[in-house]
Amino acid sequence: MMPRPTPPPSGHPPADEPARDVGVRTAETLRLQGGVASPARDEVAVELPLEVRLNGEPFSVIMRTPGADVDLALGFLFSEGVLRGAPDVDRVDSDREAGVVNVLVRRGRADAVSQALSERRQVAMNSSCGLCGRRSLASLSLDAPALPVTWTVDAGTVSGLPLALHGAQPVFARTGGLHAAGLFDPEGRLEAGTEDVGRHNAVDKLVGRALADGRLPLGQSLLCVSGRSSFEIVQKAWLAGIPLVAAVSAPSSLAIDLAQQAGITLLGFVRDGRCNVYAHAGRVRPAAGA
């Protein structure tokens, strides 16, 4: 396990320390209804930049919902191949007010840090971008074995994941403006849930927390995401060793292709008691009598 992040000299709390309403702000709006206009106040999801630094050097700027910033930075660096686990991290310095997380990597990973800094274009990642900053198509490929089938899950359990995830979305309930990701065990019990303006950010927050806790790979976990599943979501699951990805909406064609290669069970349209299985259906047991 990793120690909690080091507080900055200013005395601000660590980026992952809970803060009241950190993901919500109030906006003035003009409400139009029934031909009548009236001023109102509305709660909206916060989107702000986070600068991720590697050993003090700027690495990426991520547009995100504040909260769990250290988890986000660690998960992002894991998905970029810079970190392989908690032992690679010497220290994490975070300043929530400045929107900066600086990850200091142990000396044995100096070559990986140098390569990551040299290969990545310095661009801001918007909340819908999971692959911004990559220089080449070759950088998207993974040299990893397909995930083995070691357990199965009941179809009824899978169909209940979105409802359980919805219960872990307090900011979405107030704003309607965030994506969510949740880790579940094969019995459908929620292990951890996150929210963010970006689907991939929410997944990185989950993976980053697991990395800090020394729990990777997540071979006994299911991942459920709101919205659609895309290439980068499946790629992050593969890196983290998650063998099943369920989404409320549709998968992309690349997500299906990658899931087939990775040995990941990929489900879409998981809602209203039904779902479609697009890859490796053997992990899902049909409901009794089906």
pLDDT in tens, 207-252: 999 999 999 999 999 999 998 999 999 999 999 999 999 999 999 9
Q: Is residue 244 part of a domain?
A: yes
pLDDT tens digits for range 91-134: 999 999 999 999 999 999 988 899 888 876 554 555 555 555 44
13 vs 280, residue with greater confidence: 280
pLDDT tens digits for range 262-280: 999 999 999 888 999 999 9
Q: Is residue 273 part of a domain?
A: yes
Predicted TM-score (pTM) of the model is 0.85
DSSP 3-state of 95: strand
Q: Is residue 109 part of a domain?
A: no
Mean pLDDT value across residues 23-46: 92
Which residues pair with residue 96 across a beta bridge?
none
Q: Is residue 65 part of a domain?
A: no
What is residue 202's predicted lDDT score, i.e. its pLDDT? Answer: 95
Q: Find the domain containing 159 and state its range.
A: 153-285
User: What band does 20 get if pLDDT is binned at 50, 70 and 90?
Assistant: low
Q: Is residue 254 part of a domain?
A: yes
From CA 108, how far away is CA 161, in angstroms rounded?
A: 40
User: What band does 191 get if pLDDT is binned at 50, 70 and 90?
Assistant: very high
User: What band does 290 get if pLDDT is binned at 50, 70 and 90?
Assistant: very low
What is residue 79's predicted lDDT score, i.e. its pLDDT? Answer: 93
Q: Is residue 53 part of a domain?
A: no
Q: Which residues contact 115 (CB under 8 A, 6 or more apart)?
A: none
Q: Which residues contact 103 (CB under 8 A, 6 or more apart)?
A: 52, 53, 54, 55, 73, 74, 77, 83, 89, 92
Positions marked catalytic = 129
What is the count of structural domains for the chain?
Answer: 1
Q: Is residue 77 part of a domain?
A: no
pLDDT at 10 > cutoff 70? no
* Location of structure tokens 């009824």: 156
Amino acid code (one letter) for 268: G
Mean pLDDT value across residues 44-49: 92
204 vs 166, residue with greater confidence: 204
DSSP 3-state of 57: strand
Q: Is residue 230 part of a domain?
A: yes
Which residues pair with residue 28 across a beta bridge?
41
- CATH no. for residue 185? 3.40.140.10
User: What band does 23 get if pLDDT is binned at 50, 70 and 90?
Assistant: confident
